[in-house]
Amino acid sequence: MNDAQTIKEPGFEPHDLVWTPEKIARFFDYASQHTAEAHSFSFQVGDALVRLARNHHALEAPALDYGAGVGYLVERLVQAGIRCSGCDFSRASVESVKKRMTGNPLFGDCYLMERLPSRLPDASFGTVFLVEVLEHLLPEWRTGTLREIGRVLNPGGHAIVTVPHAEPLDLAKVMCADCGAVFHRVQHVAAFDETTLAATMAEHGFSTVLCQPMNLGALTDAEVRQNRRLQTRIRRGLTRLKLLAPHPTSTPHLVYIGRKN
112: phi then psi, degrees, rounded to nearest 5: -85, 120
Q: How far is CA 178 from CA 11, 14, 23, 32, in A?
A: 11, 10, 16, 23
Could you read off the pLDDT of 199-238 as tens digits, one per residue?
999 999 999 999 999 988 777 554 445 555 555 565 566 5
Read off the amino acid at residue 94: V
**Looking at the predicted structure, is the pLDDT value of residue 106 above 70?**
yes
Work out the average pLDDT over 5-32.
Answer: 82
Instruction: Specify the higher pLDDT residue, 44 or 199.
Output: 199
Work out the average pLDDT over 32-43.
Answer: 70
pLDDT confidence tier of residue 40, bands split at 50, 70 and 90: confident
In angstroms, the CA 81 to CA 105 distance is 10
Could you read off the pLDDT of 241-251 as tens digits, one per residue?
655 444 444 67
30: phi then psi, degrees, rounded to nearest 5: -65, -45
Q: What's the pLDDT at 131?
A: 96
By percentage, how much of the chain surpasses pLDDT 90? 66
In angstroms, the CA 137 to CA 237 distance is 34
In angstroms, the CA 206 to CA 146 distance is 10
Read off the amino acid at residue 46: G
Q: What's the pLDDT at 2?
A: 43
Q: Give the residue from 114, 111, 133 showing the smallest Cα distance to 200.
A: 133
The full set of domains in the chain, from first to last, is: 12-220+250-260 (3.40.50.150)
77: phi then psi, degrees, rounded to nearest 5: -65, -45
Work out the average pLDDT over 179-200.
Answer: 96
The answer to whether the Cα torsion of 134, 139, 145, 150 is positive or negative is: positive
Q: What's the pLDDT at 163?
A: 97
Mean pLDDT in the chain? Answer: 86
Helix residue spans in the chain (DSSP H):
21-34, 41-55, 72-79, 91-101, 139-152, 194-203, 222-240
Q: What's the pLDDT at 6?
A: 42
Q: Give the residue from 250, 249, 157 showing the smallest Cα distance to 207.
A: 157
Instruction: Specify the higher pLDDT residue, 137 or 218.
Output: 137
